[in-house]
Structure 1
């Protein structure tokens, strides 16, 4: 019995040790993060090695779609709309596929990113962008497949794929000027109605200067776009501030407006809060 117990214990210990064994991946994972102008670009991929093999035209056949790396999808994401080789590409995350050929490469941004390698069933409708570029012959050999962002300026960069003695470079541009001008115009135009609401809300919740809070919530209401109803939660905040300043008559009138807006929106929580406050302030 003791022998059986120690044999079982040894087996458990052995399995536990085996479960902790770590070995390097054949194609290690890599991540690239680069700011181009005001746009953030992120790439995640795995890096197979050449290991003395002929890569393009042999390991990676010409004329066939390639996963462009190893293991799970190679993905690339942009947080702004960009142009790739002059073509529009919407902000988002894409799987990066390629079709290598001796004299040109197709580079494909594919909308589905949850495949292991190539999709089992290729869906052309998921091709967000396809562009063609010429391969370049490198002077030296690149052992590990490498994706990088190079030639970075305020408005552009290149997505470079290098392996063995071949590199393809895909130029892209980012809307730096448009984003910067929009930011400048917004800043120079002053706070938005949402900014005024947030300031008023903070002052109310922190029991700060209620007169300033009332000024700011009135500004938020005033700046609400004419094609929208004044948000009922804005009116609710104003009524609370009015009540806190001692203007219960004004608070009741504002609460009634908030109540109507809450009813229209079907928000029962705000309906109840406004009814309860009106009853309290009417005493």
Structure 2
């Protein structure tokens, strides 16, 4: 999880870059208190590692359309502006090239954008400048740890769902197919539901067992139709049928 806490100053017909925000000087990347960014897991930013934690976020803008700006992650997260900023407390500095748009962004905003399950970018927009900082997380390691922790804390009657969620997570990542199959098998051995049966079918297909996947998907449909309270099958029927049609061609 990534969270950004910031104040949002307005342009107010001013020249932001080079005047409101001087070039070649540390900037709080917001207003009032320093902007903070918190990562709940270890992350890499523009290819450089940063441990999990909460950081004050600063930027050093540079003049010129081709100039790269420096973004700074400082270990002292609770700061007012940049008045007590200490470079010695920096955890990471990376250089990124801003983009300049014709459209003016009146208030400073930060937005998070996922590109895949394990990477994306956050964007800062103010005035005509747009700053994109790419991040990547090891979601596999974190996800496996989360499943193990959930299983330790769960009641026995809830573990089937945790195994199914874990298998689905791995299938979405297209990683650790063998582990996904083991968890799907464990889930359906504890309880059979249209949902975890379809997860098992997907794991079989990912393992190359398409005939097994078709058979398990048929059982998913059978179980779903037999239970009028099974809203998963009701909502996923088209997806299941589409998957089965594709598997039958393999």
Quickly name the TM-score band, shorter chain normalised: 0.5 to 0.7
Other-structure match for 2:34: 73
Q: Which of residues 45, 55, 60 is equivalent to 1:84?
A: 45
Other-structure match for 2:205: none
Greater gyration radius? 1
What secondary structure, in the 3-state scheme, does the structure 1 residue paired with 2:143 have? helix
How far did residue 54 of structure 1 move?
A: 0.7
Counterpart Cα distance in 2 of 1:74 and 1:182: 30
Q: Deviations over 1:152-182 (max 9, x none)?
A: 4200111111111111100000111222244
How far did residue 126 of structure 1 move?
A: 1.0
Q: Deviations over 1:101-148 (max 9, x none)?
A: 12111000001122210043x422310010000010113110001111
Other-structure match for 1:108: 72
How far did residue 43 of structure 1 move?
A: 1.1
The alpha-carbon distance between structure 1 residues 183 and 160, as it changes in their structure 2 partners (threshold 3 A), is same
Counterpart Cα distance in 1 of 2:124 and 2:28: 13
Q: Which of residues 50, 59, 69 is equivalent to 2:11?
A: 50
Alignment of 1:142-181 (within 5 A): 142-181=105-144
What secondary structure, in the 3-state scheme, does the structure 2 residue paired with 1:46 have? coil
- Is 1:117 the counterpart of 2:117? The answer is no
- Is 1:61 the counterpart of 2:25? The answer is no
Alignment of 1:241-252 (within 5 A): none
What's the C-alpha RMSD, in Å, of the aligned pairs? 2.2
Under a length normalisation based on structure 1, what TM-score does the superposition of the two structures give?
0.50
Structure 2: give runs of 5+ residues left out of the alignment: 156-250
What secondary structure, in the 3-state scheme, does the structure 2 residue paired with 1:161 have? strand
Counterpart Cα distance in 1 of 2:137 and 2:91: 17
Under a length normalisation based on structure 2, what TM-score does the superposition of the two structures give?
0.56
Structure 1: give runs of 5+ residues left out of the alignment: 1-39, 196-283
